[in-house]
Amino acid sequence: IGIFTFLALGWQFSQKRAARRLLERDA
């Protein structure tokens, strides 16, 4: 696993957490 792959996974994970947080706030 390369550093770029690690960064991509970390960014995608953070984006999913942010989206879920916004959805929970609206609910």
- Three-class SS of 1-27: CCHHHHHHHHHHHHHHHHHHHHHHHHC
Report the distance separating Cα 5 and Cα 20, nearest Å. 23
What is the per-residue pLDDT for 15? 94
Decide: pTM greater than 0.75. Answer: no
What is the per-residue pLDDT for 7? 95
What is the per-residue pLDDT for 27? 62
What is the per-residue pLDDT for 26? 72
Q: At which residue do the structure tokens 């609206």 appear?
A: 26
Q: pLDDT tens digits for 1-27?
A: 699 999 999 999 999 999 898 888 876
